[in-house]
Structure 1
Amino acid sequence: MGSVQTDTLELPQPWIETPCVHSSALSKIAGCNIYLKLDILQPSGSFKSRGIGNLMVRAVAKARAEYGPDANVRFFCSSGGNAGLACATAARQLGYPSSIVVPTATSDYMVAKVRALCDDVYQQGDNWAAADKYLRETVMPSPSDMQTGSSGSIYPVYVPPFDHPDIWDGASSIVEEVATQLNGAHPDAFVCSVGGGGLMCGLMDGIDRVYGVPKSADSPPITKILAVETKGADSLMASASAGQLVTLPGISSIATSLGCVRVAEQTYSWLKQRPTAIHPVVVSDAESVNAIVRFLDDTRLLAEPACGAALAPVYTPVALSSTAPLKTTTLLRQKLGADMSDVAWAEQNIVVVVCGGSNISLEILAEFRERFGV
């Protein structure tokens, strides 16, 4: 898995380079070149290992630089599930304890996975925001307890699930890997799921760093992003429609890992800065479940519905136009290639970030299939 070099020490790297593979099955459905960035293979089961791991490694390096190798680091994370699992996974590898707070909506199945890695897990609040408040106000030590970070006192590290530059920087490594793995082929677009937007922010940072910054906000984008949410967890689309950051009243989607009632300010800022590059889209829970069922058949990989959101545009048929309702295309082409000829669309290279997620099993999938008739 490798290690991260700092100025004074090496630390284990809690994430891995994942394959980016061409999928003949999905390419045939989409009518263009579909590449799958398989972050479902990360140590924690999701892309969260990149950003969360990057933040935690940097925090440990900082603590040791300030207080020496015996700094009493402890990680504190609030999460809908996958970020907490990434935190607990990385904390074990780095050799430090962690405390995780998840909402009451988090499934028993997911909570059990986190508890298997972390002895200090709490379920509080109806959503992530409420869980985060409980973490900050009740679980984390008060300022008076944060003395020197040395033996006998705690050096607390707050680990947010998506809203931190170190998290975005870790997620941006996806673009760097893809640039190498595509052997010179340029990705015309990335497709990603959006909860709070940490992955999207990382992709935007990586695209700017690897492929260059557009001359202006209205310049043709070098690489687009299709930012996908599920209905009932669509805080980015709500903000885009309102022209300002919007806080949803609650989360009603089964994709609880996308259950953020308000995206990060940086997520919305990217949308405002690059209106031609970022294309928000919302899919239904049923479309997400259909996508993970078909993806399982096509690849033998099982992803949770939050990841199914990113896969759904490939599998979801839509009417070609209002004048030809019986002729269909895919949601992916409608959003990214509606004005292209078939020949031009066939040459597009689209990278779908298979972000993974651990809140799924065959039993849970069977329940979703029955519920949505998939």
Structure 2
Amino acid sequence: MLSARDVQEAGKALRGIIHQTPLDRSATFSAMAGCDVYLKLENLQKTGSFKIRGSYNKIRLLTPDESARGVIAASAGNHAQGVAYAARRGRVKATIVMPEAAPLAKITATRGYGAEVVLSGAGYDDAYLKAQEIQQQTGQTFVHAFDDDAVIAGQGTVGLEILEALADVTAIVVPIGGGGLIAGVALAVKEMAPHVKIYGVQSEGAPAVYMSKREHTIKTTPDAVTMADGIAVKVPGNLTFSIIDQYVDDVVVVNDEAIANTILMVLERAKLMVEGAGAVGLAAILNGKIPAGGKVASIISGGNIDVNFISRIIERGLVKAGRRVKITTLIADRPGTLQNLLAVITKLKANVIHVYHDRVERNVPIGQAVVEISLETRDALHTEEIMAGLRQQGYIARII
């Protein structure tokens, strides 16, 4: 039976291999949540996530024969990088099967660590089936992303570090995909400090553990559709769920909107880049899904987010906050009228990003032109001031 002692042994083996990541109190998020919020910054870990812990612990325990045959794994990205890094360090050949839609940054990083990458399927579960097929052909040792004693023990070292850094922690909030991280953390923490509450968080689009916990039996979801690709898993592991059902106090879900808002907030307020899976715990705290009060540690499990994707989150967040707006109006089709419109906007202290001017559009009256202007503003109130100012000057403007 896996125990806290296994986690402690893993912790000793990982010294000098991984970073002991910071546990930082956030004054901003504490004020917003009504409790002392601490961020366990595994996004600053080697390979950009906690996954190196379990991967290394598994690979260090391979027999010489297993090492010679190499390892294979299935992953949406973070486990892939963890296995690739650990295998390179142990001089073991690694094959990683990743979903075809895996973020390019994660695919590139995995190959950069020396692993052979095979792209297959739409999500983790498809990649897992392909990896099993290859494993049967090659005889490589399968390094499961979560349902493995050595992997669970390695991930549990995150919990040990939290207890060491914050002895009076009252609750730990953990992202859940297949359950390896929360199983290891819950096992270690509950055996050493049983009063500490352990809360798991999933995306509404991939709630298998949430459903399973409520019925105390493993449930499978037909789909796992969420922007948090690192936790898009249709079914928890047998080993992980048995630990979760016994030790975890509660599991909650958050929607993708809350996850995206949290990614943007962490980037802007804490100056940290966090992926969707890494943001779910803090999203649950900030949205009142976790009981308030005490000292709450949120595990920021990873920071491997595609820069193109984060740019979309930023753009969307700016629009929602009223800081990016597109307006349209009609102006007279004669020299100087566009300049006059832009002068009014300048006086209202908005920053012009883009201007579109068309006088031949089908619905535009002869002698007039339609103008669409993208603006950068301070906030929603500033946008209202701009619209009022334009109307004062006789423009019939509207937001589109």
Instruction: Answer yes or no: is the 8 Å Cα contact 1:99–1:118 preserved in 2.
Output: no
Instruction: Answer yes or no: is the 8 Å Cα contact 1:29–1:314 preserved in 2.
Output: no
What are the ranges of 5 or more consecutive residues in structure 1 without an aligned counterpart?
A: 1-5, 147-155, 213-221, 317-330, 338-344
**1:194 and 2:176 equivalent?**
yes
Instruction: Answer yes or no: is the 8 Å Cα contact 1:171–1:198 preserved in 2.
Output: yes
The letter for the 1-side match of 2:176 is V
Whole-Å Cα distance in 2 between the matches of residues 359 and 161 of structure 1?
A: 19
**Residue 180 of structure 1: how far off its partner (Å):** 1.9
Instruction: Answer yes or no: is the 8 Å Cα contact 2:56–2:82 preserved in 1.
Output: yes
Match of 1:308 in 2: 279
**1:51 and 2:47 equivalent?**
no
The letter for the 1-side match of 2:218 is L
Give the TM-score, by structure 2 length: 0.71
Whole-Å Cα distance in 1 between the matches of residues 304 and 32 of structure 2?
A: 26
**Residue 99 of structure 1: how far off its partner (Å):** 0.4
**Residue 133 of structure 1: how far off its partner (Å):** 1.5
Residues 265-284 of structure 1: matches in 2 within 5 Å? 265-274=238-247, 277-284=248-255
Instruction: Answer yes or no: is the 8 Å Cα contact 2:199–2:251 preserved in 1.
Output: yes
Match of 1:321 in 2: none
Q: Percent identity?
A: 26
Paired positions, count: 308
**1:364 and 2:359 equivalent?**
no
**1:93 and 2:93 equivalent?**
no
Instruction: Answer yes or no: is the 8 Å Cα contact 2:104–2:306 preserved in 1.
Output: no
Match of 1:164 in 2: 148
Instruction: Answer yes or no: is the 8 Å Cα contact 1:168–1:205 preserved in 2.
Output: no
Whole-Å Cα distance in 2 between the matches of residues 35 and 190 of structure 1?
A: 9
The letter for the 1-side match of 2:54 is G
Match of 2:190 in 1: 208
Instruction: Answer yes or no: is the 8 Å Cα contact 2:163–2:189 preserved in 1.
Output: no
SS in 2 for 1:364: helix
Whole-Å Cα distance in 2 between the matches of residues 370 and 233 of structure 1?
A: 25
What are the ranges of 5 or more consecutive residues in structure 2 without an aligned counterpart?
A: 1-8, 321-400
SS in 1 for 2:61: helix
Q: 1:38 to 1:12 in 2, by over 3 A?
A: closer
Give the TM-score, by structure 1 length: 0.76
Supply the RMSD in Å over aligned alpha carbons.
2.3
- Partner of residue 118 from structure 2, selected from 119, 122, 133: 122
**Residue 241 of structure 1: how far off its partner (Å):** 4.0
Whole-Å Cα distance in 1 between the matches of residues 50 and 311 of structure 2?
A: 25
**Residue 141 of structure 1: how far off its partner (Å):** 5.4
Match of 2:199 in 1: 226
SS in 2 for 1:226: strand
The letter for the 2-side match of 1:313 is A
**1:288 and 2:270 equivalent?**
no
Whole-Å Cα distance in 1 between the matches of residues 223 and 261 of structure 2?
A: 24
The letter for the 2-side match of 1:355 is S
- Partner of residue 236 from structure 2, selected from 263, 283, 295: 263
**Residue 103 of structure 1: how far off its partner (Å):** 1.3
The letter for the 1-side match of 2:263 is I
**Residue 119 of structure 1: how far off its partner (Å):** 4.6
SS in 1 for 2:38: strand
SS in 2 for 1:72: helix
Whole-Å Cα distance in 2 between the matches of residues 178 and 242 of structure 1?
A: 30
SS in 2 for 1:126: coil
**Residue 309 of structure 1: how far off its partner (Å):** 0.8
Whole-Å Cα distance in 1 between the matches of residues 75 and 235 of structure 2?
A: 14
**1:76 and 2:72 equivalent?**
yes
Whole-Å Cα distance in 2 between the matches of residues 357 and 97 of structure 1?
A: 26
**1:245 and 2:218 equivalent?**
yes
Instruction: Answer yes or no: is the 8 Å Cα contact 2:187–2:243 preserved in 1.
Output: no
**Which protein is bigger by CA-based radius of gyration?**
2
SS in 1 for 2:48: coil
SS in 1 for 2:178: coil
Deviations 1:163-203 (A, max 9, x none): 11111111121222222212xx3211101110001011011
Whole-Å Cα distance in 2 between the matches of residues 20 and 75 of structure 1?
A: 33
Give the structure, 1 or 2, with the largest relative contact order (CA under 8 Å, sep 6 or more): 1
SS in 2 for 1:140: helix
Deviations 1:272-319 (A, max 9, x none): 324xx5211111111001001101122211011111111202333xxx
**Residue 365 of structure 1: how far off its partner (Å):** 0.9
- Partner of residue 179 from structure 1, selected from 160, 163, 174: 163
**Residue 12 of structure 1: how far off its partner (Å):** 8.6
Residues 343-358 of structure 1: matches in 2 within 5 Å? 345=293, 348-358=294-304
The letter for the 2-side match of 1:194 is I
Q: 1:58 to 1:16 in 2, by over 3 A?
A: farther
Match of 2:330 in 1: none
**1:104 and 2:88 equivalent?**
no
Deviations 1:76-116 (A, max 9, x none): 11111110011111222222221000112312332222222
